[in-house]
Amino acid sequence: MTDPASWRRCSACKQPIALGAAYFVCSVSTCNRPRTGLVFCTVSCWEVHLPVARHREAWAEEKTAPRTPDTGEKVAERTGEKAAAKSAPAASRAPRRILPAAPARQPDPPPEILIVTSRLKEYVRARSGMNTSERVLGPLSEIVRKVCDEAIRSAESDGRKTILERDIPRRG
């Protein structure tokens, strides 16, 4: 490398990563192998490799480049990480996980019936002996959509991509 103040180049944009600067690596082990050695200067550069790598689940881990160029790249990485681990408190040793940006929100699907008609009719008849009109399905589906939207917001606020039972709002 021609610049003595740089450590390596970003695997995506090829910009130099300065000595002692923060950089990002992929959490997937195949991207971190010595032969692969992917490093990224920003999270957006890390996101560029996701479509090609086709990971099922990945995040960017923030690391710090070695401070001196003279110790050799691999030795500096190992000793820099060990020295930082010894001097840093336990909470700061864990790599910072940065999830990829959420994909653009999809347009609302057309209003379809979300209720299984036969199951609803069986339930109402067993519970009360009454019949159920077909017109009940639309309003019930709308109620289910609203509950699902609340559950989606709850899961997103917790940083999850899976809706859990606790995300469903409790109704009287």
- The dihedral region occupied by 169, where left means phi > 0, alpha psi between -120 and 50, and beta the remainder, is beta
| Within-domain flag for 107 | no
Residue-wise pLDDT for 90-109, tens only, equals 455 556 666 666 666 667 76
Judgement on whether residues 16 and 77 belong to the same structural domain of the protein: yes
Q: How far is 118 from 112, CA to CA, in rounded Å?
A: 16
Judgement on whether residues 72 and 130 belong to the same structural domain of the protein: no
Judgement on whether residues 89 and 17 belong to the same structural domain of the protein: yes
> Total domain count for the chain?
2
Domain termination site, one of 98, 128, 157: 98
Phi/psi of residue 145, nearest 5 degrees: -60, -45
Q: For the chain, which ranges sit under pLDDT 70?
A: 1-2, 70-106, 109-110, 172
Phi/psi of residue 94, nearest 5 degrees: -65, 135
Domain containing 59: what range? 6-98
Residue-wise pLDDT for 45-61, tens only, equals 888 888 877 787 888 88
| Within-domain flag for 1 | no
Judgement on whether residues 90 and 156 belong to the same structural domain of the protein: no
| Within-domain flag for 105 | no
Judgement on whether residues 151 and 89 belong to the same structural domain of the protein: no
| Within-domain flag for 85 | yes
**Single pTM value for the model:** 0.42
Domain termination site, one of 64, 98, 132: 98
The answer to whether 64 and 80 have CB atoms below 8 angstroms apart is yes
